[in-house]
Chain A
Amino acid sequence: MAVIREADRSAEADRRFQRDLVQLIPHLRAFARTLCGDAAAADDLAQDAMLKAWDARQSFQMGTNMKAWTFMILRNQFYSEKRRSWRQSQLDQEAAERTLIAVDDPSAPVELDELRQALAVLPDEQREALILVGAGGFAYEEAAAICGCAVGTVKSRVSRARRAVQAILEAGGFARDGKPAADAMRSILADADRMSGAR
């Protein structure tokens, strides 16, 4: 009776893994949305990441942070696809506007709309660092593992991102129709980056 067959143990582990993975789906969707902007593309990305995580379940170490592990998979998936087809440059004028596709709801609070637009003009690595730490609830160490960089790098990216977003939000002046003053935002962004870089 004490002997559990290997197959049973693995089936039980799979069940547990699947249950945990299902609970992470809302978080994967939210993270994907911040990376892609477009809600449909984000769900495609989240589904791909979910399947990849399922296929790789044997390599997941039980007891480690599964949320961080799946976010890392999703992020890798995003950047490998992005190299092929998605937006090439975060300073692409369309980037900010494309992000707004996710905010079609006219009842969405204006300040969140502005936040999304401000995030859209950040360099990718700053945006993801700020999202992971500021919204996803990850520690700097976990965010560093997800992004594959040093903890100090994440800290500096988060701090630059905060300054830039705050500078953009303070300057205000976004049109509700989704046509941000992209040039103005870029110059604010450069200023904020220069200020934080000089420290």
Chain B
Amino acid sequence: MIDHPRDRARTNPEPTLEEARLRQQALGSKLRQMFNDVVNEPVPDEFLDILRKADRSKAGE
């Protein structure tokens, strides 16, 4: 049997608590994966260069 979520939604608009919890978990893990993909990218050198320059200009004050 193929489960059609859209059909089920029509007959029973409120998913069970367990179902809602699982869906929320799945979404959460996808969101974290999307975010962490960027977190785990190497930081471009530009960032540290800019910070170093800002630090030096302060020291020169």
User: Which A residues are within 8 Å of any B CB, using their own CB?
Assistant: 14, 18, 21-22, 25-27, 29-31, 33-34, 43, 46-47, 50-51, 54-55, 111-112, 115-116, 130-131, 134-137, 162, 165-166, 169-171, 195
Majority SS at the chain B contact face:
helix
Any A CB within 8 A of the CB of B46: yes
- A26 near B51 (CB under 8 angstroms)? no
Residues of B within 8 A of A166 (CB): 23, 27
Which residue of chain B lies nearest to A113 when distances are taken between CB atoms in the complex?
B34
- A115 near B31 (CB under 8 angstroms)? yes
- A29 near B51 (CB under 8 angstroms)? no
Majority SS at the chain A contact face:
helix
Total interface residues on B, CB under 8 Å, equals 29
9 closest pairs, A vs B, by CB? A135-B35, A30-B38, A135-B31, A134-B31, A26-B39, A30-B39, A30-B35, A33-B38, A25-B43
- A112 near B33 (CB under 8 angstroms)? yes
Which residue of chain B lies nearest to A136 when distances are taken between CB atoms in the complex?
B35
- The A-B contact count (CB < 8 A) is 78
- B50 near A112 (CB under 8 angstroms)? no
- B27 near A165 (CB under 8 angstroms)? yes
Complex: A116 Cα to B38 Cα, angstroms? 13
Known pairs A54-B51, A112-B33; A162 contacts B40 (CB<8 A): no
Complex: A26 Cα to B43 Cα, angstroms? 6
Of B23, B40, B47, the contact of A25 (CB 8 Å cutoff): B47
- B30 near A43 (CB under 8 angstroms)? no
- B54 near A54 (CB under 8 angstroms)? yes
